[in-house]
Amino acid sequence: MTDPRLTPLAAGLPATVPFTGPETLERAAGRPFAARLGANESVFGPSPRAVEAMRAAAAEVWMYADPEAQELRAALAAHHGCGAEHIRLGEGIDGLLGLLVRLTVGPGDAVVTSEGAYPTFAFHVAGFGGMLHKVPYRGDYEDPGALLDKAREVGAKLIYLANPDNPMGTCHPPEVIERMVNGIPEGALLVLDEAYVDFAPAAPRIDPADPRVIRMRTFSKAYGLAGLRVGWALGPADLIASFDRVRNHFGMGRIAQAGALAALGDQDWLAQVRGKVAQAQDRIAGIAAGNGLAALPSAANFTAVDCGQDGAFAARVLSGLAARGVFVRMPGPAPLSRCIRISAGTEADLARLAEALPGALQDARG
Amino acid sequence: MTDPRLTPLAAGLPATVPFTGPETLERAAGRPFAARLGANESVFGPSPRAVEAMRAAAAEVWMYADPEAQELRAALAAHHGCGAEHIRLGEGIDGLLGLLVRLTVGPGDAVVTSEGAYPTFAFHVAGFGGMLHKVPYRGDYEDPGALLDKAREVGAKLIYLANPDNPMGTCHPPEVIERMVNGIPEGALLVLDEAYVDFAPAAPRIDPADPRVIRMRTFSKAYGLAGLRVGWALGPADLIASFDRVRNHFGMGRIAQAGALAALGDQDWLAQVRGKVAQAQDRIAGIAAGNGLAALPSAANFTAVDCGQDGAFAARVLSGLAARGVFVRMPGPAPLSRCIRISAGTEADLARLAEALPGALQDARG
């Protein structure tokens, strides 16, 4: 039953959630997964310096953290070569997307995304009454031209693009994104989700002051801090400042800020992680090939593996893997849903995948 | 300049923030405070078991936390003697208040609070376009009768009451709150902020399933985990479930859940903290009396000290304390603003207060 005191907007929202957590699946199955390869976490962990910083901060956690996060914002600003006025922190990109949609999208406002792109963005757009317009992927890539055309057609406030893409792992080269920025219609904002950009060969050159773009970054992926909940938005100062009108000012904790700061300072660790991810992706591609499947090229820390049939088949493969203790996810709509999405794992994780996949495929075919 | 893409609601919001953090004041002053007594943090810290749990969780922080926080919610449910369906977690009470206002308050909807009550609640109501109606305190207590009368008059969706009260520290006995619940008009919801209830002699008996009330609790105060950002809402299952429609599902991190769980399990520590807070409050009252000022009775972990003149005078006392390295805060509007609000400190903190207060008063008078 819906509480009668909800607003009409809230009362009309579905009770579904964007993602079911692996812990919920484990509770349903009655046992933990042996390989956790579904959430694109970094199994290689955070920098030991970040772990040390978090442990030290635990003793000071009786204090609220600096609501302006001045130290971390200054370090991020130096990292990007811009001023701290271009940066705001949030509880992961998920939290920042929610704030951005709240700031810019009112009931009925048009927003453009791709069919099969990040469900949590769609969750927030629905949550504020926005009207989501979707364009198809083109050859497993999000389609900048189609996104811009649709944005012009519907008068979109926001255009969402993840590059590298999740769930497919494909990545447009910098010049494609830079050209897209030049085509953004008046009144629209490109929300460029760069959660996985640390794994990409190159990032587009975009001036943080460019009023047409806001970029979303995170410590959850390459920095190995998914469970810490720290993301940052990078964009024009006016828009960035407006987050202060609505954000939970004391929402970013003390251990979170300390861990993120230390992680940012250890770029050597990041380079090591990138190397391990590349190795893991080679291994995933090899496992796929050994089972007659094709791995898509990926610029992220996961690999989409084409199971060669339709979404129902891929879903059976996914279930078969889960039954064998291997947690992966898959894209929702066709034609993306012919794939399963496998996060870069440790050697042990991928040995379990290699062991589980033949049986999962056999069950799916039988 | 305001970004032209903001919604009319967002564009109309002020750029002010509910609270300036002590770190911002320290940066402005060019030096840290010697005594941090303004944010009602627990200087006595969290349970050592919580510190240990947070340190252990740091190694696993590459994983997202369980978005349903099943283990922590189950422990809280056991603590309250109810089912976990009555509980949702959030990034502090601040975060939960934002979600609750979003769920229930649309543009123009009436909300009732007290003049001088928690500014962050007002921030959220403004942020969703609600119309805030205020009633005065009555003898330094929030006034349940006046709140109910006003709620009836304006057709309020929400009625906010903090008990114990912040910023005054006064506390209604359980039967007054229980009587208030019985007077809540149809269609209204009492938001009972019990951030400080762990310091109160007794809590009202309210069935978590009671559709008229939602209670807000936190690990930030007595549990000493302000910098961890974990609060919980306790209320009727339908309303509680509706948080899932809008919340940041993966917003509560792994270290946060682990620390809170361990803290909840150490009720002995809580009892010790309560004892230390009571001692500190006696000391604050003694310091006040030694300077010819009266400390108000408090059921929280802070004490409002009546400076005996108007708000401008109290503000000068506050400035004088800050200049002497002692951070305190004060209520905004008269007549509450005759007071300064001093958090329970360590003996060293309060020695600094004792040293600073005479000079601060002398400056304020001169």
CB-based contact A58 B51, cutoff 8 Å = yes
Is residue A1 pLDDT above 80, yes or no? no
- Return the structure tokens found at A61: 């956690």
Chain B touched by A236 (CB under 8 Å): yes
pLDDT range class, residue A16, cuts 50, 70, 90:
confident
Chain A touched by B62 (CB under 8 Å): yes
Query: Tokens 């109810």 belong to which residue?
Result: B82
> B8-45+268-365 is classed in which CATH architecture?
Alpha-Beta Complex (3.90)
Is residue A361 pLDDT above 90, yes or no? yes
| A139 min Cα distance to partner chain B (Å) | 31
Give the Cα separation of A296 and A45 in Å (integer).
25
Provide, as residue numbers in chain B, all residues whose Cβ is less than 8 Å from the Cβ of A118.
Answer: none
What DSSP string describes B212-235? TEEEEEESSSTTS-GGG--EEEE-
**What are the residue ranges in chain B where pLDDT is below 70?**
none
- The predicted pLDDT at position B15 comes to 84
User: Which of B47, B65, B138, B41 lies closest to B343, judged by CA?
Assistant: B41
* Contacts with B, A 171-190, CB within 8 Å: 187-189
Exposed e or buried b per residue across B336-350, where buried means at least 16 C-beta atoms within 10 angstroms of its C-beta = bbbbbbbbbbeeebb
**Alpha-carbon dihedral angle through residues B259, B263, B265, B268, given to the nearest 10 degrees:** 160
pLDDT in tens, A195-240: 999 999 999 999 999 999 999 999 999 999 999 999 999 999 999 9
Provide, as residue numbers in chain A, all residues whose Cβ is less than 8 Å from the Cβ of B102.
Answer: 10
CB-based contact A23 B68, cutoff 8 Å = yes
What average pLDDT does chain A have? Answer: 97
- The predicted pLDDT at position B336 comes to 97
Write down the ipTM of this complex. Answer: 0.97
- Return the structure tokens found at A90: 């949030």
CB of B190 closer than 8 Å to CB of B161: yes
Q: Of A6, A104, A229, which has the smallest distance from its Cβ to B104's Cβ?
A: A6
A213-218/A35-36 β-pairing: unpaired
Give the whole-number percent of chain A exceeding pLDDT 90: 98
CB of A340 closer than 8 Å to CB of A305: yes
Amino acid identity, residue B90? G
Across residues A290-294, what is the average pLDDT? 98
Query: Tokens 């033949």 belong to which residue?
Result: A358
3-state SS class at B357: helix
Domain B48-266 part of CATH 3.40.50.300: no
Distance of CA B24 to the CA centre of its chain: 20
Helix, strand, coil fractions of chain A, as percent rounded to 5: 45, 15, 40
DSSP letter assigned to residue A304 = E
Q: Of B24, B44, B94, which has the smallest distance from its Cβ to A248's Cβ?
A: B94
- Distance set, CA A121 to CA A113, A116, A118, A158 (Å): 9, 11, 6, 11
pLDDT range class, residue A315, cuts 50, 70, 90:
very high
pLDDT range class, residue A316, cuts 50, 70, 90:
very high
**Where do the structural domains in chain A lie, given as residue ranges?**
8-45+268-365, 48-266
B213-218/B35-36 β-pairing: unpaired
CB-based contact B104 A7, cutoff 8 Å = yes
- The predicted pLDDT at position A319 comes to 97
Give the Cα separation of A81 and A58 in Å (integer).
31
Across residues A59-68, what is the average pLDDT? 97
Give the Cα separation of B55 and A68 in Å (integer).
25
* Contacts with B, A 324-343, CB within 8 Å: none
User: Which of B342, B277, B329 lies closest to B119, judged by CA?
Assistant: B329
